[in-house]
Every structure is written in C-alpha cells, then in structure tokens.
C-alpha cells in the first residue's frame, strides 16, 4: 500500500490535472494592487457575471505563500489558501481557516480552484478562483464592501503560518472599470491645486483653507481625472482634501486660514468638485462626462480644504499636499457635478458612548430641487460615490426612494474602514429624478468611548456623508438632513423648548444600552429637517421622515467543484463539494473509464518513483504532523519526495 503522504500526493496530482486544464484565466485580469509597503506581494484580480472571482498572487518568495480574508483584520475566523512549489517541482495548494491566534485547520470543503502555479529563482505566482459566496461557513464572503485581506509567505516550504511574514490590508475588490477601458485623451494638461510650504500645526485636528484659481483656458475644457499629491513623509498627517467651486460673484479672502475658524469667509464655496480621503487613489471619470472649465458658467476659483490629523504633535512638518487635475480640450458629452448628502455636520448629530452599534440617518428630500435650481432639473445620472465617516464609523449605505417606495440600496460599505476612503464607481449608472429621496445611514461603534461623540469637523467628532458623482450638473451643491432634536430629547425624558435646549439636554442623559436603543429609535422616528444649498450659497429648508430600509435578498451560495448552485437553509449542514483534499471523486475529474485506467497507471508509476518505501525518521515525523486532526499549531514540513 502507498503511505498516506504518497496517496495524498497521488490525489493532488490527479486533482491538479483536472483543475489546471485551463492553464490560465480566460482574460487578462483588469485590477491590481501591491499588498505590502515593500511591494513583495502583488495581487491581480477580476470578476465576472457568474459571481466568480479570479486572483493572481505573485510573491517574492520561493517558499509557501498564502492569501485570504479576515474579519476586521483579526486572525480568528480568517479564511486562507496556502500553496507553493516543492524543490522537485511538485505543487501543493489547499483551503484553510484560522481557528485562533495559534491554530489553522484545513477546510473539509475545498472552495478555491487552482488554475496555474509557477515559480522561478525569486518568486512564486499562483492563479486561482472562488465564488463570491461559497457554501462553506469557514469562507469569508466576497462582497461590495471594504474587505480585510491577509497575505503572507515563508522562506521555504516548511509551513509555519504564524511565524511567516503576514500582511493585512483593506481592499475594495468590486471594481468595474480600469483606466485601460476608458478613453485617455491624446491632448491633455496637468494642473496642481496645492498648499505652498504650509507648516502643519502641533494639533490633533487642523483644517487649512485657501483659494486658488482654476486653470485659465480660452475655450471649454473638461477635467477627466484627478489624484492626490501628498508630500512625502506626511502621508499619515493628511486626512482628506476637498476642492469646492466658488460662485463667480464671491468675494474671496487671500492667504491660508482655518476653514471653520474665526473668519467665516474661509468657509465660503460649498459646491464639491472633487474629493480625496485616506487610502484613495487616482480616479478617472467615465467617458461620458468631465468637469467643465473655461465657460462663463464655470467656476473660476476654488476653495482648497486640507484636513490634517497630527495626533502625535510632531513639530517642524512642512506640507505641499493637494490635488492634481488632468484636463483636455477633447470634450465629453456631459458636464458632471457632485451632490453632497447625508447628515448635516453639527452637534445635533450625537453618538452615545460604550455601544456596539448605533445608527444615524440623514435624508435628502429633493422635492424643491427645481425651485432652488431656478430651471428644470434634468435627471441626475449617478455613476460614482464617496462615503465618509470618522473613526467610530463601521458601515455606510445610501438608499434611493421614489414615490415612497425603495428602488435600491444605491451604495454601501458594511465593513467601512476609515483608512480606505476612495471614490468608487457604480456597476450601472442610476437615474435620480427631482422629487426622489436619498437616505444615508451610518453605523457606528463607540465601545472605546466613555462620553458622547458629537458631529463636527475634528477626526474625534463624527460625520455621516455620501458624495454622489453625477451628470449633467445643476446648481445644487448639497442636500442634507438632521433629526428634530427636541423630539429626541422628549423621547429621552428631557424637556426642551427649542433646538438649542434639545442639544444641551442630550448631555443630561445617563447612557446605557437601553437609553442608546431608545435614542436610536427616536432619531429614526423624528421628523427630518432637510437643508438644500446651491453653489451661490442660496439655502432652502424642507422636511421629511426616515423610511424603512428593505434588505438585500441573500445570494445563493455556489460550490466551485459541484454543478454550480447550492442554497442550503441556514442551520443545516453546509454543502460538500465533489472534490476535496480528503476525498476524490474521480468521475468528476476524468472524462472516461478508459482514460481513467491509463491515467491511474501512469500516476501510480509516477508516484511510486517519487515515494520510496524507505523514508527518514524526520519525514515520518513530518507526515504525522500533517495528519494531526486538531489543526496546525506549529510548523508543517511537507515531504520532500526526493529519490
């Protein structure tokens, strides 16, 4: 009889013969990112209409490599694949889950499909696939949220997972377009909107604002792309950068000052043009649209706002950060705009301390859009969004209603990460009509806080915002709501004659889980006061109320080796695929009995030559380690299988 290790080698050879028959993914992978600061781990990926995600992991190592997903960056509950190429050219690849900080166990259900594996003198490249939602409870689902990716490698094929180099990174995988799919103009120019030698104060929060002219052009041009330019070594200081268009009748101050300080003129201009926040990258607009400059209707000046967070009070830092614009005379069909929505940033927004979850709501009721715009408002074609909270934020979503009925959850991130705030494109352009409603819901966690958190500009305050990118543009810059704070105070047993007394009354509440739930319910049931504003600072008020949110229907899970679908009811045993590392269904892999006989004969000879009957004591010990039923708690040395 063959030993367990040799039998497993045979099973692996057979399974990889079936798994690797395609040799490569069907099309070039459109998206990529380095997963570590030293650029030793590079990931490429893509997805298709069958909810199948393809990955290519290239690691600067000739030892074992790993990739997977965790829950909020914590190892327990993580889901990883581990693979590599042995010195003799044989491969290993399997699906595991992390039990705790010291134990990793191979999944009974193997839900990652190996496509190819290559190794040269310095690096290992593995290409593999899995469905967004597998039928294994140990696999983290791949969603449209910010995912916490884990990757790692070791110096050789002795797999000691917890002593390897492990990297955690937040990543958004559900991208739909890359720059190669968009039209890059043949003629374009670059223009920087930035601060000049600004000394970053020794303070946890600084908002620096200045006014800068837009590029001067004699004919209409379109800005088609933007990116942040951050001064080296100041990356951890710059929290966000916003560019606001100014009305051409505005009288603007000179110099640099606090955006929201003693001089209110430095808060002028509220029409968002572009925005960047921590973790964001380059963003290129769809081919249909761009930001118009150079016409009498277009803004000639902008307000540049840079938010710094210097929590360590480092002195002597000089900054020249800003936004780089790319613009072209090759015009697009539509001029684009940005609509700021969410909860009006003001101390009326509050979060109780010490709670696992607390939801806040901000409503945009667009029933007065045409009155405020001064002319009929064309349908807004929304193509992208940027979600924004501060440190307590755990989830954000925007919900679209028409005639009192929910149309869709337009954008969401249920695993929001403060350190990855980026402009994201929608899969399909969404039409928003004047009169529609847009609700922004933000979920917070304040377990680390012992006092109330209020809405405000500081990183230690909170915000709840969604910036919607759309075309064609109109004159409306923001549409945000907040709850009737008097009603909330009364529901919490505190008298309040007006809004100011209502805000003060919130400080008198004794907070626990029950009062926090009561406050959340009151904030949702209260009438919403909606504030609408134009580029010229014209303001009108509207009212509305928070409607219920209809949740998504969960997608059925899919098995990578089965015949496609499984929809096991919750609580029942999970689906077992046809092929796992422990069980082989030869019929599922091999096309005919005749070929099976030929192939078994060939692989038996091959395995016999690779697996001599005499093995060293060290190999025996290692194989026993591999058979431990309780999971990995230390290193695993794979058998060398050398003759």
pLDDT of residue 26: 55
Q: Where in the chain is CATH 2.60.40?
A: 4-175+556-631
Choose, from 307, 381, 388, 400, the residue flagged as catalytic.
Answer: 388
Mean local confidence (pLDDT), 434-441:
98
Tens-digit pLDDT profile for residues 16-39: 433 433 344 457 899 999 999 899
Element (H, E) at 32: strand 31-34
Question: What CA dihedral angle connects 326, 331, 332 and 337, to 10 degrees?
Answer: 60
Is 313 an active-site residue?
A: no
Secondary structure of residue 258 in the 3-state scheme: strand
Beta bridge partners of 396: 413, 442
Would you say 307 and 260 are in contact if contact means Cβ atoms under 8 Å apart?
A: no
Residue 241: both structure tokens together = 């950068």
Least confident interval from 66-75, 330-339, 375-384, 630-639? 630-639
What is the biggest distance separating any 2 CA atoms in the chain, rounded to whole angstroms?
89
Strand partners, 26: none
The token duo for 362 is 């901000």
pLDDT at 229 exceeding the cut of 60: yes
- In this prediction, residue 561 carries a pLDDT of 60
Rounded to whole angstroms, how far apart are CA atoms 349 and 430? 29
Residue 533 has pLDDT above 80, yes or no: yes
The token pair at 622 is 């290692």
Task: Tell me what the mean pLDDT of segment 158-178 comes to.
Answer: 93
Distance CA 30, CA 28 (A): 6
Question: For position 148, what pLDDT does the model report?
Answer: 96
Residues of the chain with CATH 2.60.120.230: 342-552
Pick 4-175+556-631's CATH classification: 2.60.40, 1.10.357, 2.40.50, 3.40.630: 2.60.40
23 labelled catalytic:
no
What are the Cα distances from residue 589, in Å, to 17, 114, 580, 583? 8, 14, 12, 12
Catalytic residue, from 92, 112, 131, 207: name it: 207
The model's confidence at residue 208, banded by pLDDT at 50, 70 and 90, is very high
Three-state SS string over 431-454 comes to: EECCCCEEEEEEEECCCCCCCCEE
Alpha-carbon distance 535 to 478, whole Å? 9
Give the pLDDT band of residue 619 (cuts 50, 70, 90): very low
* Confidence check: pLDDT of 628 > 50: no
How confident is the model at residue 86, as a pLDDT?
94
Domain with CATH 2.60.120.310 in the chain: 177-335
| Backbone dihedral angles phi then psi of residue 599, each to the nearest 5 degrees | -70, -40
If you average pLDDT over each of 394-403, 496-505, 536-545, which comes out highest?
A: 394-403
342-552 CATH, one of 3.40.50.720, 3.40.50.1220, 3.80.10.10, 2.60.120.230: 2.60.120.230
Predicted confidence (pLDDT) per residue in 543-566, tens digit:
999 999 999 888 899 887 643 333
Average pLDDT over residues 288-294: 96
Rounded distance between C-alpha atoms, residue 627 and residue 604, angstroms: 22
Give pTM, 2 decimals: 0.81
Domain 177-335 has CATH 2.60.120.310: yes
What is the overall mean pLDDT for the chain? 84
Q: Which residue has the higher pLDDT, 566 or 297?
A: 297
Sign of the CA dihedral running 195, 391, 481, 354: negative
């Amino acid at each position: 009889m063959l030993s367990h290790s040799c039998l497993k080698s045979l099973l692996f050879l057979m399974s990889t013969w079936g798994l690797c028959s395609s040799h490569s993914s069907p099309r070039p992978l459109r998206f990529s990112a380095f997963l570590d600061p030293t650029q030793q781990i590079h990931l490429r990926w893509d997805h298709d209409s069958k909810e199948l995600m393809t990955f290519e992991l290239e690691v600067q190592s000739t030892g074992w490599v790993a990739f997977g997903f965790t829950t909020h960056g914590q190892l327990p509950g993580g889901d990883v694949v581990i693979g590599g190429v042995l010195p003799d050219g044989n491969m290993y690849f399997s699906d595991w889950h992390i039990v705790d900080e010291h134990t990793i166990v191979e999944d009974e259900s193997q839900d990652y499909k190996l496509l190819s594996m290559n190794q040269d003198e310095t690096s290992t490249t593995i290409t593999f696939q899995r469905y967004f939602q597998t039928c294994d409870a140990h696999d983290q689902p791949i969603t449209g949220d910010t995912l916490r990716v884990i990757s790692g490698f070791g110096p050789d094929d002795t797999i000691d997972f917890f002593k390897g180099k492990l990297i955690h990174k937040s990543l958004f995988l559900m991208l739909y377009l890359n720059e190669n799919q968009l039209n890059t103009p043949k003629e374009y120019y670059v223009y920087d909107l930035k601060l000049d030698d600004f000394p970053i104060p020794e303070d946890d929060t600084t908002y620096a604002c200045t006014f800068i002219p837009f590029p001067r052009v004699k004919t209409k041009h379109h800005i088609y792309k933007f990116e942040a330019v951050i001064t080296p070594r100041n990356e951890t200081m710059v929290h966000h950068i916003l560019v606001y268009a100014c009305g051409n009748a505005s009288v603007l101050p000179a110099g640099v000052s606090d955006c929201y300080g003693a001089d209110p003129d430095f808060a002028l201009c509220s029409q968002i043009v572009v925005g960047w926040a921590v973790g964001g990258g380059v963003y290129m607009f769809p081919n249909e649209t761009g930001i118009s400059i150079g016409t009498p209707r277009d803004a000639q000046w902008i307000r540049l706002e840079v938010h710094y967070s210097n929590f360590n009070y480092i002195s002597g830092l000089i900054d020249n950060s800003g936004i780089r614009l790319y613009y072209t005379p090759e015009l697009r069909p539509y001029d684009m705009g940005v609509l700021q929505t969410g909860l009006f940033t003001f101390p009326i927004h509050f979060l109780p301390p010490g709670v696992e979850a607390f939801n806040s709501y901000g409503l945009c009721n667009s029933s007065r859009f045409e009155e405020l715009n001064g002319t009929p408002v064309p349908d807004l074609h929304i193509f992208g969004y940027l979600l924004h909270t501060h440190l307590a934020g755990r989830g954000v979503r925007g919900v679209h209603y028409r005639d009192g009925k929910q149309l869709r959850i337009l954008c969401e991130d249920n695993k929001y990460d403060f350190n990855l705030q980026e402009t994201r494109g929608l899969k399909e352009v969404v039409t928003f009509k004047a009169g529609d409603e847009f609700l922004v819901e933000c979920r917070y966690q304040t377990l680390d806080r012992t006092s109330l958190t209020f809405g405000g500009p500081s990183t230690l305050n909170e915000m709840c915002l969604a910036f919607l990118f759309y075309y064609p543009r109109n004159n409306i810059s923001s549409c945000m709501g907040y709850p009737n704070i008097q009603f909330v105070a009364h529901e919490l047993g505190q008298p309040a004659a007006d809004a100011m007394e209502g805000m003060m009354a919130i400080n008198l509440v004794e907070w626990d889980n029950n009062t926090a739930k009561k406050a959340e319910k009151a904030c949702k049931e209260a009438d919403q006061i909606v504030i609408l504003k134009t580029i010229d600072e014209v303001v009108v008020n509207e009212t509305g109320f928070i409607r219920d949110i209809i949740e998504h229907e969960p997608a059925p899970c899919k098995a990578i080796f089965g015949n496609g679908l499984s929809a096991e009811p919750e609580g029942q045993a999970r689906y077992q695929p046809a092929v796992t590392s422990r069980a082989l269904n030869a019929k599922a892999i091999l096309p005919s009995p005749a070929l099976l006989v030929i192939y078994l004969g060939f692989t038996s000879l091959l395995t016999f030559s690779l697996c001599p009957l005499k093995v060293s004591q060290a190999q025996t010990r290692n194989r026993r380690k591999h058979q431990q039923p309780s999971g990995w708690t230390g290193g695993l040395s794979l058998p060398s299988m050398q003759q």
